[in-house]
Structure 1
Amino acid sequence: MAMVKICGLKDAETVASVVRMPVDLIGFLFAASKRQVTPEQAGALVRIVRERRETGHRVPLTVGVFVDPTMELLAETLKAAPLDAVQLHGAESPAFCRAVRETFGIRVYRVFSVSESASAADDDARTNAVAEALDPYAGCIDGLLLDTAGGGTGRTFEWSRIPHYAQWARRAGVPLFVAGGLTPDNVAGLIEAYRPDGVDVSSGVETNGAKDITKIRDFVERVKGHESHAGA
């Protein structure tokens, strides 16, 4: 069953509601964004998750989203907000990803942007290009996330590109997440066609720029419920 990540959470009420749903990961943005939180704000939200975990409940992993952070920034952030993982959206090298894992003992998810227009290359050429770009990251990351170029655009990329990355992820032994323009209305189609290991949503479950609990619940049900019916 595909994992669900809800990203860009900012307030305690939303976090308290989401952790009671079958959500697998929640994300806090530390990069410049209208959804950005400070380490101190994130720390308070992480405590909500940890307190529920301590009572024996299953809770989502907490993920910090960064763009080209320094090790010093990560250390400062993790001191205030003890996250389970970091998600790196910039030009972070394999060596940097490995250093983060080894220094802080947390999971590292690496994001790769997929251009909205596919090149004219054939399947073999695309598969080779993906391998050339990603092979240096093998053994350095715990997950791969595909997003539309630019990130946070609310637009999908061409999903036909997914299999080339999925092939690499299987070989590397890491889960493949898909983000970019997902909503409760289109996520079931993505899962049906491409079977990613996980899906990541932010603006697609918002109303007027704020997280909408009804939309979050609908999104989660479309993922988890669709697969339950598909496997029946």
Structure 2
Amino acid sequence: MTAAQRGALVKICGLKDVQVLKSILHLPIDYIGFMFAKSRRQVSAAQAGELIRSMREHGSVVPRAVGVFMNPTPEELAAVLREAPLDTVQLHGSESAELCRWVRATFGVDVIKVVSIGSEASNRPLGETLEPYAGSIDMLLLDTFEPVVGGGSGKTFAWDRIPAYLEWARQANIPLLVAGGLQADNVGELLGSYAPDGVDVSSGVETDGVKDVSKITAFVERVKQHASSSR
């Protein structure tokens, strides 16, 4: 069964506003991402903690909380996790497999490792760059390289790079998510052509830099409609 037939995972990244968060919790969203890396969507640990608590008060079935970091120090991670009870840590920089294992063991969270397509590292042989991470991460995410903060560019990458990473993820027995320039109008094409296990969106569900509930709803519905039509 393909990811499209199961229904792809959905991650909405860069949430900052509690009212927007509450307005989308009825949707079948799997992950909500909070930005701790430098970004216009960046939140403090205290802000994220408040948002996560508000989310969990909503009910027993809520999205998993993801903290997005770029080359954090162990001290930074510990400080954030003291205030923000994350389920998952997403590492968006050049973090080593050793750090990924340490994060999992120390904090009891899942780890998503990001590969920025277009970066120098992504142009090296796949086995060379990813093999050390086998058994050290819980999910792989592909995003478009952005030289300042690594991602969040709002641009797609060459999707024909996906199959090689998808094959590696299958061998590693972990899901593969795809980000980078996704929106309601193109996510169906991505799922239909490449069938990743999930999709991650941020700027594609914003209007004038602010999360737009109607765009989030349309994006999630398009992903889940694709799953239904693929059965």
TM-score with structure 2 length normalisation? 0.92
> 1:130, CA displacement in angstroms?
1.1
- 1:17 Cα offset (Å): 1.6
* Residue 215 (str. 1) matches residue 221 (str. 2): no
Which one of the candidate residues 16, 19, 23 is aligned to 1:17?
23
* CA distance in 1 between partners of 2:65 and 2:109 (Å): 11
Which of 35, 51, 68 matches 1:45? 51
Tell me the equivalent position of 2:3. Answer: none
Map of 1:152 onto structure 2: 152
Q: Which residue of 2 aligns with 1:187?
A: 187
Report how many residues are paired.
219
Q: Could you tell me how far 1:52 is from its partner in structure 2?
A: 2.1
| Residue equivalent to 1:95 | 98
What corresponds to 2:4 in structure 1? none
How much has 1:14 moved relative to structure 2?
1.1
> What letter matches 1:4 in structure 2?
V
SS of equivalent residue, structure 1 residue 186: helix
SS in 1 for 2:185: coil
User: Which whole-Å CA distance do the structure 2 matches of 1:15 and 1:83 have between them?
Assistant: 16
Instruction: Please identify runs of 4+ aligned residues in structure 1 that moved more than 2 A.
Output: none
Residue 172 of structure 1, CA deviation: 0.4
Aligned AA (1:192): G
The structural deviation recorded for 1:94 is 0.2
The equivalent of 1:175 in structure 2 is 175
1:66 paired with 2:69, answer yes
Structure 2 SS opposite 1:108? strand
Report the Cα distance in structure 2 between the residues aligned to 1:131 and 1:213, rounded to whole angstroms.
40
Structure 1 residue matching 2:152: 3-state secondary structure = coil
Structure 2 gaps of 5+ residues are 1-6
Instruction: Structure 1 unaligned segments of length 5 or more: list them.
Output: 120-125
CA distance in 2, matches of 1:50, 1:40: 15
Match of 1:123 in 2: none
